[in-house]
Amino acid sequence: MTAGDDDYIYDEATGEWRPASEIAAAAALAAEVRDASGNLLQDGDSVTLIKDLKVKGAGQTLKQGTVIRSIRLTDNPEEIDCKHDAIKGLVLRTEFVKKR
């Protein structure tokens, strides 16, 4: 279904036909990943832990103030992939980190 220059897509959530540009803009907003302070996070950013975190399966605690470099965003806007020297495959919740 088209009208003018804008394509329309059926939005199952609302049950309405909406402009594709409007749906793309809504998806971009939903995909924003923010830290505990509300700062926008991107791939490659460095973050600092805002509280001590016990790491399940590693028998280790990451202390408040620990710097994590080169984060990667995931499909879930509440989680980030991280690299840490002692822990492989570390995934942190964004509510526990602050952008540096």
The domains of the chain are located at 1-30, 47-99
Q: Among all chains, which residue has been given the structure tokens 């460095």?
A: 46
Per-residue model confidence as pLDDT tens digits over 17-63:
988 888 777 776 667 899 999 999 999 999 999 999 998 888 899 99
Higher-pLDDT residue of 32, 13: 32
Fold of the CATH domain 47-99: SH3 type barrels. (2.30.30)
Confidence of residue 1 (pLDDT cuts 50, 70, 90): very low
Residue 78 has pLDDT above 50, yes or no: yes
pLDDT of res. 29: 61
What distance in Å separates the CA atoms of residue 57 and residue 30, rounded to the nearest whole number?
31
| pTM over cut 0.85 | no
